[in-house]
């Protein structure tokens, strides 16, 4: 089956800021209160998409969500006009920051997606993540569902599930904890879902939250009609969660049968690898990073595993790594060694500046949602979100027209920001031909 992996990157929204909202995400905590640059952030994201597109990798975009989320602010008791709501909420800066978060940029947490080759009904399945663990991210699922339904509209090809119940037992963070292995994108594969906790087992991180449950993974597999013998549920190592690995994509990444992972990624990592190879019926192209090569702390600092591992149209695989990997001597040495190894599948490493996102704990892989599509499915995608030179130029011009150079936490109290953000999204609706304002009831 002819199929492609399309990377749908979240466009970084005009209210991108550093509010320290994610406990257990070390970068978010460290940069709380820093001044952000929404314009630089969005341009960095677009530059990454542009370069991947130029490399021949299929690329799409997902829009930012309307922020601040006025329906949330009304729900928690602020009322009156838009200005009055912001004025009241400004007395509770943390609540206002939650309403203003541009966190939908991290599209790897938007949804879990199963390609049609893996689902028993031959359709592509989407479950928007409920993101139940953090308040700011729990505001995303309705907007995400609305957008995914518009982009993947044909019910003969695409199935949209509702987010799982927004409750601790079903806490779900989407594709960041979902890893697919297959000999080729279009072939049936094995889906590995990684959880941090389960109601049946007492092993928990001691310090930081485990954001994904086994129960959520099981529910997703049932809904997506995955054959049980093609699913592996794996527990993330609680000790690495406590070192800042809040999603699996901060400690492992796979593409086709290539697997880059840290030896401490899972509870009993060697057993996970052995089971995967049995289920796949073939060997993985293993790139196991030892703690003597790169410690978990260095992995979290550099976001080595939050690289994108992509198949190049001309053959080989490229690793799309954050610049921070080049600056870390141990990580750089490891990546250099990959390129010279005879049997490593990685044929190129490209370093990208996504610093504005990195400072909130989001690397190159966090910024994209992988969707494997056959030629026919790709033809059924809303065409205005598929990346080309024209869309790139339109989005760059749009960012220059609507984004602030800088944003400090105090700026969130300025009602002008809400109006700017809304004007920007209205203009984006025209460019992408999408309806984005559904949840935002501005007076
Ligand atoms: O959920 N940061 C995001 C980063 C998400 C990274 N995604 C993946 N690993 N796939 C999070 O913790 C910080 C927002 C703030 O503090 O202002 C934030 O939400």
* Pocket of ligand 1 contains residue 354 by CB under 6 Å: no
CA 115–ligand 1 middle distance (angstroms)? 25
pLDDT score at 438: 60
The catalytic residue among 16, 53, 247, 402 is: 247
Instruction: Give the number of the atom of ligand 1 that is nearest the alpha carbon of residue 18.
Output: 17
Within-domain flag for 424: yes
Tell me the residue range of the domain where 296 lies.
3-432
Is 440 one of the catalytic residues?
no
Within-domain flag for 437: no
- Could you say which residues of the chain have pLDDT below 50? 439-443
* Pocket of ligand 1 contains residue 197 by CB under 6 Å: no
Kindly report the CATH number assigned to the domain that includes residue 272: 3.75.10.20
pLDDT score at 443: 33
* Pocket of ligand 1 contains residue 16 by CB under 6 Å: no
Instruction: Give the number of the atom of ligand 1 that is nearest the alpha carbon of residue 22.
Output: 12
Within-domain flag for 441: no
Cα angle 72-141-74, degrees, rounded to a multiple of 5: 5
Is 29 one of the catalytic residues?
no
Instruction: Give the number of the atom of ligand 1 that is nearest the alpha carbon of residue 28.
Output: 16
Q: Which residue has the tokens 């928007």?
A: 128
Within-domain flag for 327: yes
* Pocket of ligand 1 contains residue 101 by CB under 6 Å: yes
pLDDT score at 442: 36
Within-domain flag for 443: no
Q: How many helical (H) and strand (E) elements, i.e. helices and strands, does the chain have?
A: 16, 15
pLDDT in tens, 262-316: 999 999 999 999 999 999 999 999 999 999 999 999 999 999 999 999 999 999 9
Q: Considering its fold, how many domains does the chain have in total? A: 1
* Pocket of ligand 1 contains residue 178 by CB under 6 Å: no
Within-domain flag for 201: yes
CB burial of 276-302 (b: ≥16 within 10 Å; e: otherwise) equals bbebbeeebbbbbbeeebbbbebbbbb
pLDDT in tens, 311-340: 999 999 999 999 999 999 999 999 999 999
* Pocket of ligand 1 contains residue 361 by CB under 6 Å: yes
CA–CA separation, 112 and 151 (whole Å): 15
C-alpha radius of gyration, the chain, whole number: 20
The catalytic residue among 5, 82, 140, 173 is: 173
Within-domain flag for 438: no
């Amino acid at each position: 089956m002819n199929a492609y992996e399309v990377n749908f990157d979240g466009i970084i929204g005009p209210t991108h800021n550093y509010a320290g909202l994610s406990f257990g995400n070390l970068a978010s905590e460290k940069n709380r209160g820093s001044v952000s640059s929404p314009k630089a952030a969005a341009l960095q994201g677009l530059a990454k998409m542009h370069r991947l597109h130029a490399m021949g990798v299929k690329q799409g975009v997902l829009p930012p969500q309307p922020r601040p989320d006025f329906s949330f602010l009304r729900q928690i008791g602020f009322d009156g006009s838009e200005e009055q709501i912001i004025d009241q909420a400004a007395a509770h800066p943390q609540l206002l920051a939650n309403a203003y978060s541009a966190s939908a940029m991290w599209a790897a947490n938007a949804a879990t997606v199963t390609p049609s080759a893996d689902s028993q009904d031959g359709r592509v399945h989407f479950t928007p993540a409920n993101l139940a663990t953090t308040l700011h991210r729990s505001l995303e699922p309705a907007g995400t569902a609305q957008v995914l339904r518009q982009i993947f509209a044909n019910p003969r090809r695409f199935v949209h599930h509702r987010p799982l119940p927004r409750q601790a037992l079903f806490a779900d963070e989407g594709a960041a904890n979902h890893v697919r292995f297959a000999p080729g994108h279009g072939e049936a594969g094995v889906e590995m879902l990684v959880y941090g906790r389960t109601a049946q087992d007492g092993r928990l991180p001691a310090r930081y939250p485990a954001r994904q449950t086994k129960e959520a993974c099981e529910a997703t597999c049932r809904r997506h009609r995955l054959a049980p013998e093609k699913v592996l549920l794996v527990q993330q190592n609680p000790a690495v969660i406590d070192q800042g690995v809040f999603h699996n994509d901060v400690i492992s990444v796979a593409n086709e049968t290539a697997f880059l992972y840290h030896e401490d990624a899972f509870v009993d990592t060697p057993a996970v690898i052995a089971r995967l190879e049995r289920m796949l019926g073939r060997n993985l192209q293993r790139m196991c990073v030892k703690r003597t090569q790169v410690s978990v702390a260095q992995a979290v600092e550099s976001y080595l595993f939050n690289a994108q591992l992509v198949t190049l149209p001309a053959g080989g695989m490229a690793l799309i790594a954050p610049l921070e990997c080049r600056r870390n001597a141990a990580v750089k040495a490891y990546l250099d060694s990959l390129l010279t190894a005879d049997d490593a599948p990685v044929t190129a490493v490209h370093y990208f500046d996504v610093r504005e996102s990195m400072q909130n704990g989001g690397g190159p892989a966090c910024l994209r949602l992988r969707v494997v599509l056959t030629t026919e499915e790709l033809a059924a995608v809303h065409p205005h979100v598929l990346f080309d030179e024209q869309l790139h130029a339109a989005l760059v011009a749009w960012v220059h027209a609507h984004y602030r150079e800088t944003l400090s936490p105090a700026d969130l109290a300025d009602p002008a920001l809400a109006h700017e953000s809304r004007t920007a999204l209205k203009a984006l609706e025209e460019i992408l031909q999408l309806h984005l304002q559904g949840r935002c009831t501005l007076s």
